[in-house]
Amino acid sequence: MEIIVLMKQVPATESFIEIAQDGRSIKTEDLNWVINPYDELALEEAIRIKETHGGSVTAVTIGQAMAQDAIRTAMAMGVDKGLLIDDPKALGADSLGTAKILAATLGTMEYDLILAGQRAVDDDSYVVGPAVAQYLDIPCITLVTKQTLSDGKIQCERTIDGGTEFVEAALPALLTTQRGLNEPRYTSLPGIMKAKKKKIDTQSLADLGIPSPAGAVSETIAMELPVTKRAGKILEGDTPEAKADLLVKALQDANFI
């Protein structure tokens, strides 16, 4: 079973995000970068499948030199190979451009299964996974919480609004992850030592023979902080009853009851 994991390095979720001078991007200095939490689920699932069915796991990411840290972490978890696409043109691509680059790259690789996070917790766009599947013309099952492989097929349990759905597709296929799929393992010291010896393949778009992506189809004109003009009014009272009364009255006055 050849498995490819699509991975992205993102600011850690505890990060305080600030808007940059240009008003259209964020300040990237002083941020702590980690593997996108949904991609960690993809890595863990890929490694578990390899441990059961054999084969190998390759992590593919688009990023700068610091993205090597993400690949090393993935390798310390148990990923065999890493491919870093390091190219300013690739970094600047929008979701569709990113998906095109990844699909072109994967088009030259062997795979039975592709795993990706449902979304990256930076741009929150949910597009790259399904778009890669579309370009590769393979089945795509999103928001997977459980999978079973047998006879060249994959059956998945996936989240739908208000419940769960069971879906089947033929391999090769692409899955996107949902929380609940697994608990990603912590990296062990031997794992980290072993990962240090593994080679990370770094390529530019020209190296891969992939044309630069076309211009973005949308434009970020501004970024702003959510307006939270909340009063933060503490309801003071001598007893819990008095405080509850004040709250109910306040909600009634504001027509919330």
Q: How far is CA 79 from CA 4, 53, 102, 238, in A?
A: 10, 14, 18, 59
Interactions with another protein, residue window 178-217 (CB under 8 A) = 179-180, 215-217
Instruction: CB nearer to another protein: give 5 or 195.
Output: 5
Window of 57-65, 77-85, 153-161, 189-197 that interacts with another protein by CB under 8 A: 153-161
Cβ 201 to another protein, closest distance in Å?
26
Interactions with another protein, residue window 234-253 (CB under 8 A) = 234-235, 240-241, 243-245, 247-248, 250-252
DSSP reduced 3-state for 202: strand
CA-based torsion, 202, 92, 118, 15: positive or negative: positive
Rounded to whole angstroms, how far apart are CA atoms 54 and 33? 31
Binding of residue 163 to another protein (CB under 8 A): yes
| DSSP 8-state symbol, 57 | E
Rounded to whole angstroms, how far apart are CA atoms 146 and 162? 17
Binding of residue 26 to another protein (CB under 8 A): yes
Instruction: Say how many residues touch another protein, by CB under 8 A.
Output: 79
Binding of residue 171 to another protein (CB under 8 A): no
- Out of 22, 51, 110, 168, the only residue in the binding site for another protein (CB under 8 A) is 168
DSSP reduced 3-state for 203: strand
User: Are the C-beta atoms of 243 and 234 separated by less than 8 Å?
Assistant: no
Mark residues 46-85: x for contact with another protein by CB under 8 A, - for none: ----------------------------------------
User: Are the C-beta atoms of 6 and 129 separated by less than 8 Å?
Assistant: yes
Binding of residue 129 to another protein (CB under 8 A): yes
Tokens of 216: 């973005």
Binding of residue 28 to another protein (CB under 8 A): no
Residue with tokens 């890669």: 132
Instruction: CB nearer to another protein: give 65 or 219.
Output: 219
Give the DSSP per-residue string, 157-188.
EEEETTEEEEEEEESSEEEEE-TTS--PPPPP
Binding of residue 162 to another protein (CB under 8 A): yes
Binding of residue 170 to another protein (CB under 8 A): yes
Cβ 24 to another protein, closest distance in Å?
9
Cβ 38 to another protein, closest distance in Å?
7
